[in-house]
Amino acid sequence: MSNLSPQQLLNALEWRYATKVFDPAKKIPADIWHALEQALVLTPTSYGMQPYQFLVVQDAAKRAALLPHSWNQKQVVDCSHFVVFTARTEMTEADVAKFIQRTSEVRDILLEKLNFNRDMILSDVVKGPRGKTAHEWAARQCYIALGNLMTSAAVLGVDACPMEGINPLEYDQVLGLNGSGFKTVVACALGYRAAADKYASLPKVRFETKDLVRVI
Amino acid sequence: MSNLSPQQLLNALEWRYATKVFDPAKKIPADIWHALEQALVLTPTSYGMQPYQFLVVQDAAKRAALLPHSWNQKQVVDCSHFVVFTARTEMTEADVAKFIQRTSEVRDILLEKLNFNRDMILSDVVKGPRGKTAHEWAARQCYIALGNLMTSAAVLGVDACPMEGINPLEYDQVLGLNGSGFKTVVACALGYRAAADKYASLPKVRFETKDLVRVI
């Protein structure tokens, strides 16, 4: 496997920033977008349950409709690919059954050999502690995907802007999510920075390492 | 900047898996750990507020004390570096002031020129919608860091195991967090897989792309 050197990784993470102005003419090439889409699919999640769906909004009219529900941040309409992270509103026995079924297929294991796994997951994410806050638990998994996507984009030289500054309820309405079993959590615009984006050259504001990392 | 090719990124993400057995003899070299620590520091967060602290638990006795509160998953004691993600329990005016102060220093901007930013953040994460669920908001930022850390580790060839299967309240007690302003959210073990870990060769279970990604 070809890895990055530690310095190459840090260069990529220093290079990235929350892009404020995208160049609307620059689109992410198909092979690079494919890798980012697969990075989303490969995101690790709790129990591997993947309690989310990623909406890639490419329709210009839909993007325009989302703009006023995004504090009018132009990244929504100017970026190459706009991803809305949606999380399950609740977790049901059927969701667990679907995951166990998929495990059985992919790993070629008899379904009945997965009863223990199924019961363990059921007793937590449906009937147990995580079941009580299932949407929030699912939302947190979306944030793993968001972190993964932003770092994946950075190491491929693609710009990104994470967007919590959206109105999730209004997004749900525009995207027709009501009744779908999924709710909007957060979004991410991807593409290439415009030469005019003055934020690209501002020093990154982070607390000192000693304030963020404590070795014990 | 030296980027990865799309295929190199996918190779790294396919190579990674939730490592069940770490080789206790293999430690992450200092230069690689430094990059992973800085990856944590560089994590993007909402408003850039970084409402978290990362505890790197290297003391063997502390790790042993955490083990029974981690479903006895041996990764806690066998990994090279064990990171506990803690999020602020609430957000205060002082937290915002500290961030604005840091912005002023790093970007060399007069404090009074940042009044608008300060008031906007205050009206959301302290007095507004995010203030009402400040810990949960902060916890979500931890999950961005978790996603970033796992992908960063993968592209450096370091193994990782994300761990939601811990008891946060008992972690807080062992780690002396009560009254610190931070609470345990999630953990991640890092190091190198043992040759004997049979999970390394199992096919990855993911739903089909069409079930996870919807283009609209």
Integer Cα distance of B117 and B96 in angstroms: 10
Residue A1 pLDDT greater than 80, yes or no: no
pLDDT in tens, B159-206: 999 999 999 999 999 999 999 999 999 999 999 999 999 999 999 999
Query: Which residues pair with residue B52 across a beta bridge?
Result: B87
| Residue A1 located in a structural domain | no
The verdict on a CB contact (< 8 Å) between B4 and A155 is yes
Say if CB A152 and CB A39 are below 8 A apart: yes
Out of A2, A9, A211, the one facing B152 most closely (by C-beta) is: A9
Average pLDDT score over chain B: 96
Per the CB < 8 Å rule, is A54 touching B213? Answer: yes
pLDDT per position as a tens digit, B99-148:
999 999 999 999 999 999 999 999 999 999 889 999 999 999 999 999 99
Name the pTM for this structure: 0.97
Residue B3: per-residue pLDDT: 86
- What number of C-beta contacts closer than 8 Å exist between A and B? 239
CA distance A147 to chain B (A): 4
Smallest CA–CA separation between A90 and chain B, in Å? 16
Terminal C-alpha separation, chain A: 33
- Closest-CA distance, B60 to chain A, in angstroms, reads 10
Query: From the list A50, A106, A206, which residue is nearest B50 (CB)?
Result: A206
> Is A2's pLDDT higher than 70?
no
Per-residue pLDDT at A97 exceeds 90: yes
CA angle A169, A171, A176 (to 5 degrees): 100
Residue B89 has pLDDT above 90, yes or no: yes
Give residue A167's identity as a one-letter amino acid code.
N
What's the farthest any 2 CA atoms get from each other in chain B?
59
Suggest the residue from A1, A8, A9 to mutate for an interface test with chain B (most B CBs closer than 10 A): A9
Of B14, B99, B140, the CB nearest to A143: B140
Chain A contact set for B9 (CB, 8 A): 35, 39, 152, 155-156
Residue B109 lies in a domain: no
Confidence of residue B1 (pLDDT cuts 50, 70, 90): low
List, for residues B22-35, the tens digit of each pLDDT value. Answer: 999 999 999 999 99
pLDDT at B2: 65
CB contact under 8 A, B1 and A15: yes
Q: Say if B124 falls within a structural domain.
A: no
Scan for tokens 């209004």, then name that residue: A170
CB contact under 8 A, B6 and A31: yes
* Nearest neighbour of B213 by CB, restricted to A3, A32, A41: A41
Question: For residue B137, what is the nearest residue in chain A, using CA coordinates?
Answer: A140
Check pLDDT > 70 for residue A101.
yes
Would you state the structure tokens that stand for residue B98, as one six-digit string?
């500290």
To test the contact with chain A by mutation, choose from B140, B146, B208, B211 the residue with the greatest count of A C-beta atoms within 10 A, namely B140
Min distance B72 CA to chain A CA atoms (Å): 16
Three-state DSSP at A5 gives coil
**Domain-located, residue A46:** yes
CB atoms within 10 A of CB A121: 23
The pLDDT-based confidence of A129 (bands split at 50, 70, 90) is confident
Sheet with A81-88: strands ordered across: A159-163, A182-191, A81-88, A52-57, B213-215
* Residue A160 pLDDT level (bands cut at 50, 70, 90): very high
Q: Residue A188: what pLDDT? A: 98
Q: Express each pLDDT in B42-69 by its tens digit.
A: 999 999 999 999 999 999 999 999 999 9
Residue in B138, B86, B114, B135 with CA at minimum distance from that of residue A202: B114
The string of DSSP letters for chain B reads --PPPHHHHHHHHHH--B-S-B-TT----HHHHHHHHHHHHT---GGG---EEEEE---HHHHHHHGGGTTT-THHHHSSEEEEEEEESS--HHHHHHHHHHHHHHHT--GGGGHHHHHHHIIIIISSHHHHTHHHHHHHHHHHHHHHHHHHHHHHT-EEEEE--S-HHHHHHHTT-TTTTEEEEEEEEEE-B-TT-GGGGSPP----HHHHEEE-
C-alpha distance from B114 to closest chain A C-alpha (Å): 13
Q: What's the gap in Å between the CA of A15 and the closest CA on chain B?
A: 9
Q: Out of B2, B8, B216, whose CB is closest to A62?
A: B216
**Residue numbers of the domain that contains A199:** 6-212
Mean pLDDT score of chain A, rounded to an integer?
96
- Residue A84, classed as helix, strand or coil, is strand
Kindly give the interhelix angle for A6-15 and A134-156, rounded to the nearest 10 degrees. 110
Interchain contact, A54 vs B212, CB within 8 Å: yes
Phi and psi at residue A138, to the nearest 5°: -65, -40
Q: What is the mean pLDDT of residues A122-149?
A: 95
Question: Which CATH number covers residue B24?
Answer: 3.40.109.10
Residue B74 neighbours by CB under 8 Å, 6+ apart? B21, B22, B67
Amino acid B216: pLDDT: 96
Q: Which residues of A touch B157 (CB under 8 A)?
A: 1, 3
Spatial separation of the C-alpha atoms in residues A40 and A178, rounded to whole Å: 23
- Number of domains chain B is built from: 1
Q: Does residue B1 form part of some domain?
A: no
Between A1 and B81, the more confident residue is: B81
pLDDT tens digits along A36-90 = 999 999 999 999 999 999 999 999 999 999 999 999 999 999 999 999 999 999 9
- Tell me, yes or no, whether B108 lies in a domain: no
